[in-house]
């Protein structure tokens, strides 16, 4: 395991901020009517935060952590002094092997590669057909991710090419590449420490998601802020995810940008969506759908609500939406 390189994070943060300031063109207009919805009408929940549930260290998978969870005093974002858990995650999933990312040629099937999503509500299997269809999908004939002579897909299959492409400012030579990195490049995973308030403290004003992490998954993987898809696509690259919506770069290691169900390790006996992680404010994050495949209808602006068993908690967005929650309802550790 490798420790996070803090000096690299600062410029990365600046970059993400900069690209986020963009106002780009392109919109969908359709003549349509609403006919179908999938909702969880029977849920009797609200969005009050009167009832909170403490963080439970035993919810984490044993191999998800590189050391025992300890307690220490912390200062929260609202100025309160509190007790926090110090959680050192392994930075690699404890419950599965990291999957494949990029297809190798234009005949590859869904089983031979991972997925891609751009935040607009669709998940694509990165098949050979997907690679062939990129100019149509993104309405730009500059897309050419494969060799027309051999049918082989351009993949960043060395550490050097991974380093040059798995970043917001993709080096020009790696444009029109499917980007992937091996977990071996980061020694099996980048461990990271998180301070999370043991007892979540709801605040009167929600806090926005920044450009860093949103929380931690119960299997030891970072829940990252939305991926900078406009920058990725602007460089004619696909930053391929494995089927669990995770991918690797040399700064953050393996991390999630969406909730694909791979970290939903805490099944709920009442049919509620399974728990998959904790947000940095200590509130639990659960899957989007309950066991009947229904999504709550009463989520607040942060994608949270309250019930009698779990108190206030979040429901992750769909994997295709390139995010987990909308904001922090509670105070985070400084």
CA distances from 254 to 97, 102, 249 (A): 12, 15, 7
Residue choice 57, 151, 188, 234 for contact with other proteins (CB under 8 A):
234
Residue choice 4, 15, 69, 250 for contact with other proteins (CB under 8 A):
15
> By rule CB under 8 A, what count of residues binds other proteins?
71
Residue choice 1, 2, 3, 10 for contact with other proteins (CB under 8 A):
10
- Residue (105 or 211) nearer to other proteins, CB: 211
Task: Name the residue among 124, 107, 86 with its Cα closest to residue 229.
Answer: 124
Q: How far is the CB of 257 from other proteins (least distance, A)?
A: 12
Contacts of 251 (CB under 8 A, 6+ apart): 4, 5, 8, 9, 12, 167
Q: Is 223 in the site for other proteins (CB under 8 A)?
A: no
Q: How far is the CB of 229 from other proteins (least distance, A)?
A: 5
Tell me the C-alpha distance between 313 and 322, whole Å.
Answer: 19
With vertex at residue 219, the alpha carbon angle to CA 218 and CA 223, rounded to the nearest 5 degrees, is: 70
Determine contact, residues 247/239, Cβ cutoff 8 Å. Answer: yes
Query: Which three-class secondary structure state does DSSP give residue 111?
Result: helix
Determine contact, residues 306/45, Cβ cutoff 8 Å. Answer: yes
Backbone angles phi, psi at 89, to 5 degrees: -85, 155
Q: How far is the CB of 65 from other proteins (least distance, A)?
A: 28
- Residue (222 or 233) nearer to other proteins, CB: 233
Tell me the C-alpha distance between 64 and 277, whole Å.
Answer: 11
Q: Is 271 in the site for other proteins (CB under 8 A)?
A: no
- Residue (98 or 240) nearer to other proteins, CB: 240
- Residue (47 or 268) nearer to other proteins, CB: 47
36-55 residues in contact with other proteins (CB under 8 A) are 36-40
190-219 residues in contact with other proteins (CB under 8 A) are 208-211
Query: Which three-class secondary structure state does DSSP give residue 11?
Result: helix
- Residue (102 or 327) nearer to other proteins, CB: 327
106-125 residues in contact with other proteins (CB under 8 A) are 118-122
| Pattern 291-330, other proteins, x by CB under 8 A | ---xx-x-xxxxx-------------xx--x-x--xx---
127-146 residues in contact with other proteins (CB under 8 A) are 138-140
Q: Is 3 in the site for other proteins (CB under 8 A)?
A: no
Q: How far is the CB of 47 from other proteins (least distance, A)?
A: 10
Residue choice 106, 155, 202, 231 for contact with other proteins (CB under 8 A):
231
Q: How far is the CB of 226 from other proteins (least distance, A)?
A: 6
Q: How far is the CB of 198 from other proteins (least distance, A)?
A: 26
- Is residue 326 classed exposed, middle or buried when 0-12, 13-18 and 19+ CB atoms within 10 A define those classes? middle
| DSSP track, 64-132 | GBSS--EEEEEEBTTS-EEEEEEEEE-SS-SSS-----S-SBTT--GGGS-EEE-SSS-EEE--HHHHH
CA 261 to the chain's CA centroid: 11
- Residue (149 or 293) nearer to other proteins, CB: 293
- Can you tell me which residue has the tokens 């990271």? 192
Stretch touching other proteins by CB under 8 A, among 53-61, 77-85, 87-95, 161-169:
161-169
Q: Is 261 in the site for other proteins (CB under 8 A)?
A: no
CA distances from 333 to 31, 50, 75, 280, 288 (A): 47, 20, 6, 8, 26
């Amino acid at each position: 395991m490798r420790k996070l390189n803090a000096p690299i994070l600062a410029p990365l943060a600046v970059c993400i901020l900069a690209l986020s300031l963009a106002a780009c063109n392109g919109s969908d207009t359709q003549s349509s009517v609403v006919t179908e919805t999938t909702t969880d009408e029977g849920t009797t929940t609200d969005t009050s935060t009167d009832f909170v549930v403490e963080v439970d260290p035993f919810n984490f998978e044993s191999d998800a952590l590189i050391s025992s969870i300890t307690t220490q005093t912390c200062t929260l974002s609202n100025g309160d002094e509190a007790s926090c858990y110090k959680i050192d995650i392994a930075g690699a999933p404890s419950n599965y092997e990291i999957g494949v990312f990029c297809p190798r040629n234009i005949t590859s099937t869904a089983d031979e590669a991972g997925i891609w999503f751009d935040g607009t509500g669709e998940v694509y299997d990165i098949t050979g057909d997907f690679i062939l269809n990129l100019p149509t999908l993104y309405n730009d004939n500059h897309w050419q991710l494969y060799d027309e002579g051999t049918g082989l897909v351009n993949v960043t299959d060395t550490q050097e090419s991974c380093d040059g492409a798995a970043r917001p400012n993709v080096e020009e030579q790696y444009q029109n590449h499917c980007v992937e990195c091996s977990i071996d490049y980061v020694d099996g995973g980048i461990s990271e420490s998180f301070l999370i308030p043991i007892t979540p403290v709801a605040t009167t004003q929600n806090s926005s998601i920044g450009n860093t992490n949103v929380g931690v998954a119960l299997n030891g993987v970072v829940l990252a802020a939305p991926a900078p898809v406009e920058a990725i696509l602007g460089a004619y690259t696909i930053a391929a995810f494995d089927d669990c919506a995770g991918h690797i770069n040399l700064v953050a290691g393996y991390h999630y940008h969406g909730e694909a169900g791979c970290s939903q390790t805490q099944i709920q006996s009442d049919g509620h969506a399974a728990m998959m992680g904790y947000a940095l404010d200590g509130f639990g994050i659960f899957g989007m759908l309950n066991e009947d495949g229904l999504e709550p209808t009463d989520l607040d602006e942060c994608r949270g609500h309250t019930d009698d068993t779990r108190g206030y908690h979040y429901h992750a967005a769909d994997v295709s939406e390139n995010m987990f929650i909308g904001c922090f309802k509670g105070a985070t550790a400084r």
